[in-house]
Structure 1
Amino acid sequence: MNHSKYTELAPGLTICRALTGLWQIADMERDGQKVDPFQGAKSMKAYVDAGFTTFDMADHYGSSEEIAGVFRKEYGKDASQLFTKWVPSPNRITKSQVREAVELALTRMQSEAIDLMQFHAWQYSHPSWVDSMFWLQELQEEGLIKHLGLTNFDTAHLSIVVNSGIKVVSNQVCFSLLDQRAGGTMSDFCLKHGVKLLAFGTVAGGFLSEKWLGKAEPVLDESLTWSQMKYKRFIDAAGGWEKFQALLRTLETLAKKHQVSISNVASKWIMDQPAVGGVIIGARLGQSAHIADNQKLFSFELDESDREAIRKIQRELTPIPGDCGDEYRKPPFLTASGDLSHHVESFPAPYPTKEGSDGRTKALSGTIWEDIAGFSRAVRKGNRILVSGTTATHGSKAMGGTDPGAQAHFILDKLEGAIQSLGGKLEDVVRTRIFIRNADQWEPISRAHGQRFAGIQPANTMVRADLIGDEYLVEMEAEAVVGS
């Protein structure tokens, strides 16, 4: 295990393993009153002076980027590592919009290049997320971005990115004693491909602390901070307040043993996970600083008896369902509001559609083959949707590289996008057909299909076939009956 205070996230990028998260700036400003940027910058300097040199922010974390810009100007451009995120709306995104977003962040942060730009996609079935990643990569090559990362990507789509040749150094995800989703296939993939996890939620909005030990269950309403509202939902999903109190009691015992805080033990556990590059601990700049407490993260080690005590109490919790980032894409929405109302207004159709003269509606995904061969990605007539044989083609690119599972997941995104564009949903699918080039690759393709159609289980056929295009390992088609 790496117990140093610092680690190399990527070549040329050394960070503090306890990052300071500035998402609570948005909560502090929810009454419309902005944080004084000079006072905020002064608070940031106190963290840097204590060795906490790495900060995480986003385009929607209130004025956090502007505060970071003032800090950079007042206290030196090389004093810290400033990470941000771009979280665009789930509409069709243009190349110029990507540049504008990056340039806006640079202006706010008073910087020539972003240390780490992390990208969030709301809807994998909408192809704009793929375009955005390639355009961000172009801006990296231009020198406006030093390193690319992701935030809230699940394992399947991290695999699509990596196997498509897009170099990302990190994936920022929720990872805590309450939420162990990142500890399975996500960590395995990251370790194999050299991607580091940046873990947020390690102290669950402050719930994993002495403050809540033995306390009555709070009411989930606007009296809580946004962060507390969010993580109260995680507590409920993990089994409820009584089980949470049992977890706190176990952590209290370990904290007293090491003469540290419950929050220290909770964050240390995640920091010690092999795929984790750092943990992100929130700060309310100018209101509450945890510098002295955070220093203790590097003053002790958890031994095997500590780890077994934690594993034992974790087995009593209900696992958070799904993969990383699912809380932003499917129920249960583990957000402050319990839905996506604070984040997005609506989700547009992934593909354009055209009405035919005979009552049919066509969906077009824009691949070169649709024009060459004269076909639609999908056609709806009545309540029936037929999706053409689909490969991992995006424009003129083949996605997923030589990984059959990554190609399969990208194809399933396209199938879902076509069906959504015609008024259906994945649950309406009644039949799929899968054609594979190599018989020995059936399992990762089948597992991708099984992951996406779990609980739906349409009729299915898989056959080996000589696919057109050497780069394609799998092709799929689907039939759906809307309202089925």
Structure 2
Amino acid sequence: MNSQERYTDLAPDLRISRVVTGLWQIADMERDGESVNLDESARSMQAYTAAGLSTFDMADHYGSSEEIAGHFARNYLDGQPAQLLTKWVPKPGGASRETVREAVQRALDRLQTDQVQLLQYHAWNYADPSYLDDLSYLKELKEEGLIGHLGLTNFDTAHLRVVLESGIDIVSNQVCFSLLDQRAANGMLKLCAEKNVKLLAFGTLAGGFLSERWLNTPEPDQSTLATWSQMKYKRYIDEAGGWPRFQNLLAVLHAAAGQHDVSVANIASRFILEQPAVGAVIIGARLGQSEHIENNKQLLDFTLSKESRAAIENALGTLTPIHGDCGDEYRKPPFLTASGDLSHHIETLPAPYPTSPGSDGQTLALSGTVWEDLAGFSRAVRKGDAIYVSGTTATHHDRVIGAQDPITQTHYVIDKLEGALQSLGGCLENVVRTRIFIRNMDDWEAVARVHGERFGHVQPANTLVRAELVGDEYLVEIEADAICPPQNGVR
């Protein structure tokens, strides 16, 4: 395989290895409160760059991974190229411009550099529009030169589109994508190809389960698993149909591995690497303990045969598809995390919008758009068990999200509806009626399909009509009524 196929260009000035070394295991190695040896871990990274595996992925919450990478770059890189990719995963609820700058400066200090090559951002709750403010502040720091390029992590298809249509230049989206988890194939790959965004796929080895080690073995008990990755990906196996179906998949991979004279892990990752728009696969390493460098190099030295690909695709057809879209495991049940919930990630989700008491026992939610003050209305009102959400457009502060894209505008409008409901103790599942107003009749199907995507499991009463909306930039407006039980003392 030529050198061009060993690397992918996220941008003209950012070429990364198609096999990225992930450092999330550092957090697992340090979970008992003891830090790994900084110098020994940094020195162990030399073997990767010597093998041509020059790209490392880390995050602000992967233990001391950023400090290790910075120490490596400062003391052991020896003039060789390396790409240090990191993430910022803020607490939910939005941050100030100053807080965002502090987060980026912290990464710069840890990495001992004056520019983060790729900063990847994670949002916890799309119903809280403050994530767009965070990204706008990051864009300012990119323009200032502190960030080379912006990426996302664990964004779903709809909200990758929202970000792109908001004028934020995104070069990559890092998501779980494996033989067990094919959610990215349900629209994400297509959007990434259209928008020239590269997908960075993690979980391709399912925490090591997609290997010879687990072939023809008894099913392990969740409580006996040794690492956070194993705890996490055993949940994926269960969701995908259970251990017997997983064993069937492993048998097919084992046969393909024999045909190609590679490992089962190589076959599992290569299948994902060959998907359109996938820029790289991220394979975790326990620095100084379990590295598999030669095996990872081998991943770039072959391509799957048509026969092997067909056999794998047939085996995938026997699995139960993981429900939802990319990143849903961090936002809604079932939480496919190591703990099975979000307890080791966040403490609580703050309300997207402020609320205040109104007249006659009402509670009001305000989203802060100019229209609310101008026309004297609330984004939503709760009285008793009923919540009424005003006609809502794709307005964020004083700008429109989605330009002339009805799909993006509709998703963002429904996010705002959801944010208003959450702020008053409700949710989309409580909605009993929606009313949709569209400017252009040609947009009806695109808007209706988004409504179906977001409300298909609820199926509220609905009306869609063409109307002359206020403001030429608005393509769609939606209002909603919901009935929900008392929650958190709100009525």
Residue of structure 2 equivalent to 1:455: 457
Residue of structure 2 equivalent to 1:284: 286
Q: 1:455, CA displacement in angstroms?
A: 1.6
Residue of structure 2 equivalent to 1:244: 246
Q: 1:357, CA displacement in angstroms?
A: 3.6
Name the CA shift for 1:92/1:222 in 2 (closer, same or farther; >3 Å). farther
What are the Cα deviations for residues 238-273 of structure 1, in whole angstroms up to 9, with x where unaligned?
010011111111111111111110000000000000
Q: Is 1:163–1:402's contact at 8 Å kept on the other side of the alignment?
A: no
SS, match of residue 8 in structure 1: strand
The structure 1 segments of at least 4 consecutive aligned residues displaced by more than 2 Å after TM superposition are 75-79
2:76 counterpart of 1:75: yes
Residue of structure 1 equivalent to 2:25: 24
What are the Cα deviations for residues 91-143 of structure 1, in whole angstroms up to 9, with x where unaligned?
23211111111111111111101110000001000111111111111110010
Cα distance in 1 between the residues matched to 2:270 and 2:369? 47
Q: Is 1:404–1:444's contact at 8 Å kept on the other side of the alignment?
A: yes
Cα distance in 2 between the residues matched to 1:28 and 1:402? 48
Q: Is 2:94–2:134's contact at 8 Å kept on the other side of the alignment?
A: no
What are the Cα deviations for residues 174-227 of structure 1, in whole angstroms up to 9, with x where unaligned?
110111111121101111110110000000000000111111111112642000
What are the Cα deviations for residues 8-37 of structure 1, in whole angstroms up to 9, with x where unaligned?
121111110000000000000001011111
Cα distance in 2 between the residues matched to 1:272 and 1:105? 32
List runs of 5+ in structure 2 lacking aligned partners: 487-491
Cα distance in 1 between the residues matched to 2:33 and 2:375? 55
SS, match of residue 75 in structure 2: helix
Residue of structure 2 equivalent to 1:199: 201
Residue of structure 2 equivalent to 1:179: 181
Identical amino acids, percent of aligned pairs: 63
Q: Is 1:152–1:172's contact at 8 Å kept on the other side of the alignment?
A: yes
Q: 1:438, CA displacement in angstroms?
A: 0.4
Cα distance in 1 between the residues matched to 2:436 and 2:80? 53
**What amino acid maps onto 1:219 in structure 2?**
D
Q: 1:40, CA displacement in angstroms?
A: 1.0
Residue of structure 2 equivalent to 1:340: 342
Cα distance in 2 between the residues matched to 1:402 and 1:72? 44
Cα distance in 1 between the residues matched to 2:45 and 2:467? 59
Cα distance in 2 between the residues matched to 1:471 and 1:39? 57
Cα distance in 1 between the residues matched to 2:325 and 2:345? 20
Cα distance in 1 between the residues matched to 2:437 and 2:224? 52
Residue of structure 1 equivalent to 2:41: 40
Q: Is 1:165–1:401's contact at 8 Å kept on the other side of the alignment?
A: no
Matches within 5 A, 1:212-227: 212-221=214-223, 223-227=225-229
SS, match of residue 298 in structure 1: coil
Q: 1:282, CA displacement in angstroms?
A: 0.2
Residue of structure 1 equivalent to 2:485: 483
What are the Cα deviations for residues 282-322 of structure 1, in whole angstroms up to 9, with x where unaligned?
00001111101011112221111111010111101110000
**What amino acid maps onto 1:35 in structure 2?**
V
Q: 1:78, CA displacement in angstroms?
A: 6.0
Cα distance in 2 between the residues matched to 1:338 and 1:36? 30
Cα distance in 1 between the residues matched to 2:76 and 2:471? 55
Matches within 5 A, 1:72-471: 72-76=73-77, 79-221=81-223, 223-471=225-473
SS, match of residue 387 in structure 2: strand
**What amino acid maps onto 2:364 in structure 1?**
K
**What amino acid maps onto 1:324 in structure 2?**
C
**What amino acid maps onto 1:236 in structure 2?**
D
SS, match of residue 177 in structure 1: coil
TM-score (ref. length: structure 1): 0.98
Provide the alpha-carbon RMSD of the alignment: 1.3
SS, match of residue 281 in structure 1: strand
SS, match of residue 379 in structure 1: strand
Between 1:220-229 and 1:344-353, the stretch displaced more is: 220-229
Q: 1:383, CA displacement in angstroms?
A: 1.2
**What amino acid maps onto 2:162 in structure 1?**
I
SS, match of residue 338 in structure 1: coil
Residue of structure 1 equivalent to 2:489: none
Q: 1:4, CA displacement in angstroms?
A: 1.3
Cα distance in 1 between the residues matched to 2:248 and 2:449? 36
SS, match of residue 14 in structure 1: strand
SS, match of residue 463 in structure 1: strand
Q: Is 2:94–2:133's contact at 8 Å kept on the other side of the alignment?
A: no
TM-score (ref. length: structure 2): 0.97
